[in-house]
Structure 1
């Protein structure tokens, strides 16, 4: 049960760090450490940013998927 929860969070929540790292050509671990350390220093503001980024990337992925379906017809 615990392993399924960990797998879910790795697939869903770490997509933001992967996207940012690919976008800026940086290491994923550096981006993750930045979010962790800045969360402690800024009292949770990066967590709010992270959640907003997850929502934006999820909507963006959904829109891209719909566009591909339209052009496949």
Structure 2
């Protein structure tokens, strides 16, 4: 069960874990901030979350492409 939870957390909450590591906060705390901010501002942080998720995906593919060129 822990493996499934870990897989879902890595794939679905990659943005929160990335931001948590960069800011030195717990991943759970970052998730709670997104949830609370979504309720208070009627969903606008969800747009920010999706943009960050897209950017992290692009960044991952760029790094993977660079490593292939130098192999």
Q: Output aligned runs, 1:61-72, within 5 Å.
A: 61-72=60-71
Unpaired runs of 5+ residues, structure 2, are none
Deviations along 1:22-72, one digit per CA (max 9) or x if unpaired, are 101111111000000000000000000000000000000000000001011
Runs of 4+ in 1 over 2 A off after TM superposition: 6-13
Q: How far apart are residue 8 of structure 1 and its match? A: 6.8
Q: How many residues align?
A: 68
Structure 1 residue runs without a partner (length 5+):
none
Aligned to 1:42: 41
* RMSD between aligned residues: 1.7
Structure 1 segment 10-49 matched on structure 2, within 5 A: 10-49=9-48
When normalised by structure 2's length, the TM-score is 0.86
